[in-house]
């Protein structure tokens, strides 16, 4: 059965559409296989399943949540196993770490080098990735102007997603009309 629903894509803030959940998982796995082949790396069973579980959740997934899911399926349940898989997936650009949540999210743009920035909903905790290289370029330029060498950046913006904002507006409208 295909998981399909209509919403703002939980990984890519630029896409609002009817969403076939299985398609994005299949695409992520195909991209991972291609990248591993190109880089001479192996997409081991645990790495592959970790990536699948992260994409299946469609929300940031913590390492210990991932560990529990893998253990349920009979994989090695030692934390180093999961952290090695996560480190590999991060280094390959297949996932991102959402620092403020200490959790991992599938990368919607793994087929190209980019910096991921995140919109995090305070209500439903959905996280959407957006990729704007002009922001990255501006940060590097501003840092360089100050004589600062930028080595890492984390941009996570919090607020209300479109669905939660609409629900809040609807709830407010109902409350004021009573």
Question: Average pLDDT of 37-62?
Answer: 92
State the Cα–Cα distance between residues 52 and 28, nearest whole angstrom: 8
Fold of 4-177: Arc Repressor Mutant, subunit A (1.10.10)
Q: What pLDDT shows up at residue 1?
A: 37
Q: What pLDDT shows up at residue 76?
A: 81
pLDDT band at 6; cut points 50, 70, 90: very low
Comparing 18 with 127, which gets the higher pLDDT? Answer: 127
Report whether pLDDT(171) > 90: no
State the Cα–Cα distance between residues 68 and 61, nearest whole angstrom: 11
Residue 7: count other Cβ atoms within 10 Å of its Cβ: 14
Sheet strands (E) in 21-175: 95-98, 103-106, 117-121, 127-130, 156-159
Cα 14 from chain centre = 14
pLDDT tens per residue across span 65-83: 999 999 999 988 789 999 9
Sheet strands (E) in the chain: 4-8, 16-20, 95-98, 103-106, 117-121, 127-130, 156-159
Return the percentage of the chain with pLDDT > 70, whole number. 85
Terminal CA-CA length for the chain = 43
Q: What pLDDT shows up at residue 43?
A: 94
Question: Average pLDDT of 53-61?
Answer: 90
């Amino acid at each position: 059965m295909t998981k399909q629903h209509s919403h703002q894509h939980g990984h890519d803030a630029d896409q609002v559409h009817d969403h076939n959940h299985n398609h994005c998982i299949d695409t992520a796995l195909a991209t991972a296989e291609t990248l591993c082949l190109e880089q001479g790396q192996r997409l081991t069973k645990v790495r592959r399943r970790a990536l699948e579980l992260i994409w299946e959740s469609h929300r940031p997934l913590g390492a210990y949540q991932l560990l529990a899911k893998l253990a349920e399926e009979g994989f090695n349940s030692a934390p180093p196993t999961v952290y090695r898989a996560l480190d590999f997936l991060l280094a390959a650009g297949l996932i991102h770490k959402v620092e403020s949540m200490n959790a991992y999210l599938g990368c919607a743009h793994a087929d190209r080098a980019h910096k991921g920035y995140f919109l995090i909903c305070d209500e439903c905790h959905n996280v959407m990735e957006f990729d704007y290289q002009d922001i990255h370029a501006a940060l590097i330029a501003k840092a360089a102007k100050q004589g600062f060498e930028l080595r890492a950046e984390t941009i996570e913006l919090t607020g209300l997603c479109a669905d939660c904002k609409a629900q809040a507006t609807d709830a407010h409208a109902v409350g004021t009309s009573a």
